[in-house]
Amino acid sequence: MDKSLVLAAQRVVKKGLDSVAYNPTNRKLQSTVGVGSVLRKRILFSARDRLAIDKYFSQRLGTELRAVDLKNRDRLETASHVVEEKWASGTVFETLISIASTSPIKTAFGELITPPGCILSIPFEQMEFDSINSVVIVENGATITNWFKVEQALPDKYKGALIVYRGHGENQRHLKEIIQRVAASANVCLYYDFDPAGLDMSIRLLNGRRADLAIPDCSVEELRKLNKPSAYNEQYEVLTSLLKSDNQTILSLARLFEKERLAVMQEKILVNDVPLKLASIN
């Protein structure tokens, strides 16, 4: 059964809609159940029609239409409610976080090791946050797959830190929880693209927490060689906002971006073996 059709049916039933737009999905809903009438560019449903829609879909789903959570992101969780596990809105790996470290990683499964070139994907709930002394969050997939090079480029303060990939969807939302749940004394570092967008995302993620930014430790001339002007040109609005910051570290970086029109991607920094230094945000 088409997920969009179930969503349309659920919307009509839960909201008690008397009419809906005359579009392909709603036309299919009308013809599938055999109820409703068309008036101009609307499909009209009576209370009896809505009951028929509710009954039709509840029988075929094996559960009440109103109770189906089609926003669930996990396939197993979705499969426990309806027959179509692929209706889960997230990807299979979206509920896992990708991590790596040269130090043993403490989890609910015990201590785990990630050799260079390997990444551990683990459910967020199985992490032992109390044991984390330092964590580095990286923005790009290419960076986490080369995490060993990232650690080599980092200052001593973050050698052996837990390296976490920002990810997408559900695992991306876990990042704020990680930052909130590690001890206040833990060192937190963000390694994002060296550009206005990367700085802005870092600030939003930290939400006021004291942390370090990992930035290229090289000359302005070298940064110009690594620059991606087209990316900078797309970030004017973000840069304008950063230039209004009252935080001196943020303001200093924003002014550098503006003066040199900089947007340096993590991949460029990594492939050119540029060492990293820390810029602290208090």
- The order of strands in the sheet holding 134-138 is 120-123, 96-100, 162-165, 134-138, 187-191, 211-216, 276-281
Q: Is 167 helix (H, G, I), strand (E, B) or coil?
A: coil
The 3-state secondary structure of 173-208 reads: HHHHHHHHHCCCCCEEEEECCECHHHHHHHHHHHCC
Rounded Cα distance between 32 and 29, Å, is 5
d(CA 253, CA 247): 10
Give me the tens of pLDDT residue by residue for the chain, a chain 282 residues long: 677 888 899 999 999 999 999 998 999 999 889 899 999 889 999 999 999 999 988 888 777 888 777 665 444 444 444 444 444 444 555 668 899 999 999 988 889 889 988 999 888 888 888 889 999 999 888 889 999 999 999 999 999 999 999 876 666 677 888 888 888 899 999 999 999 999 999 998 898 899 999 999 999 999 999 999 988 988 998 999 999 999 999 999 999 999 999 999 999 999 999 999 999 998
Which residues are CB-neighbours of 184 under 8 A, at least 6 positions away?
none
Sequence-separated (6 or more) residues with CB below 8 Å from residue 219:
none
β-pair type (42-44, 19-21) = antiparallel
Q: How far apart are CA 122 and CA 192, in angstroms?
A: 22
Residue type at 167 in one-letter notation: G
Joined together, the tokens standing for residue 147 give: 């995490």
Tracing tokens 């089609």 back to the chain, one arrives at 70
Q: φ, ψ for residue 112 (rounded to 5)?
A: -125, 150
Q: Catalogue all structural domains in the chain, each as residue range(s) with its CATH number.
A: 3-87 (no CATH), 96-281 (3.40.1360)
Give how far the C-alpha of residue 10 lies from the chain's centroid of Cα atoms, to the nearest Å.
27
| Ramachandran category for residue 245: left, alpha or beta (phi over 0 → left; psi -120 to 50 → alpha) | beta
